[in-house]
Amino acid sequence: NAGVMQNPRHLVRRRGQEARLRCSPMKGHSHVYWYRQLPEEGLKFMVYLQKENIIDESGMPKERFSAEFPKEGPSILRIQQVVRGDSAAYFCASSRSQDEKLFFGSGTQLSVL
Amino acid sequence: AQTVTQSQPEMSVQEAETVTLSCTYDTSESDYYLFWYKQPPSRQMILVIRQEAYKQQNATENRFSVNFQKAAKSFSLKISDSQLGDAAMYFCAYRSSGEYGNKLVFGAGTILRVKS
């Protein structure tokens, strides 16, 4: 059973471009979470999705950031018009149910030039 | 809002020795979960140990054990017989039991170095 798959592992964007980060949860998992890790800091919750629904987006910046988890395909975290401050490692995690153990991917390192 | 504090940015331990990583948290809730995660250079977050606040008994997983002091809001991780593979960043995390889903609050982390 493959773990949580994130791609790309590294993503370089220039200021003003769009970044799209992909996450395929573990097989059988319908709960997906996105976390952001800034340099020298712990992970910070961004958004919680369950197939086709956003359950909690309280950690998501109000502008430029969006997330989806369609019925088919991976979850996507989309950052429009990136700025240098968006440079961070973005982690996806999944679980089978809302109370079960969380499994993390290896993250996508976003660098904004 | 809950906060998690790890006051040790970096710790070192000799191979085969024991080391304790500190974590304190702030909450007004009585029921919650606490976790220790390990992040090696590969960057993947690995769950080391989990503790339910309503359980008096400290959780243990092989060489890893916790000292959970609910009244003091302290949750330290003890690693016995340290191995080179234990070298990593360790994060303490909190989750409210009343929260729907796995919304974790993380501390800033402690880098653990293991000397041979």
Chain-centroid distance, C-alpha B63 = 13
3 state DSSP class of A24? strand
Contact between B4 and A42 using a beta-carbon 8 Å cutoff: yes
Contact between B45 and A44 using a beta-carbon 8 Å cutoff: no
Is residue A5's pLDDT more than 90? yes
pLDDT digits (tens, 9 = 90+) for B52-104: 999 889 999 999 999 999 999 999 999 999 999 999 999 999 999 877 788 99
Contact between B43 and A33 using a beta-carbon 8 Å cutoff: no
Chain A hits for B101, CB-CB cut-off 8 Å, are: 31, 33, 48, 55-56, 98
Structure tokens belonging to residue A18: 């769009």
Q: Are A48 and A31 in contact (CB under 8 A)?
A: yes
Residue of B102, B104, B105 best to disrupt the A interface, most CBs of A under 10 A: B102
Give the number of beta-carbon pairs within 8 Å between A and B: 57
Is residue A1's pLDDT more than 60? no
List of residues 6+ apart from A34 with CB closer than 8 A: A23, A46, A47, A49, A67, A75, A77, A90, A91, A92, A93
**How buried is residue A77: exposed, middle or buried, by Cβ count under 10 Å (0-12/13-18/19+)?**
buried
Contact between A106 and B43 using a beta-carbon 8 Å cutoff: yes
Q: Give dist(CA B66, CA B79) in Å, integer.
A: 9
Chain B hits for A56, CB-CB cut-off 8 Å, are: 100-101, 103
pLDDT digits (tens, 9 = 90+) for A10-26: 999 999 999 999 999 99
